[in-house]
Chain A
Amino acid sequence: ILNVEQSPQSLHVQEGDSTNFTCSFPSSNFYALHWYRWETAKSPEALFVMTLNGDEKKKGRISATLNTKEGYSYLYIKGSQPEDSATYLCAFSLYNNNDMRFGAGTRLTVKP
Chain B
Amino acid sequence: DTGVSQNPRHKITKRGQNVTFRCDPISEHNRLYWYRQTLGQGPEFLTYFQNEAQLEKSRLLSDRFSAERPKGSFSTLEIQRTEQGDSAMYLCASSLVGGTETQYFGPGTRLLVL
Q: Residues of A at under 8 Å CB distance from B?
A: 4, 6, 34, 36, 41-46, 49, 89, 91, 96-105
Contact = CB atoms under 8 A, between A and B. Distances in A.
Given A36-B105, A43-B107, A104 B42 contact: yes
Nearest to A32: B101
B2 interface: no
Interface residues of B, number: 25
Contacts of A104: 40-42
Interface stretch (B43-51, B62-70, B73-81): B43-51
Contacts of A103: 42
Contact of B42 (A42, A43, A46, A91): A91
B43 A46 contact: no
Contacts of B16: none
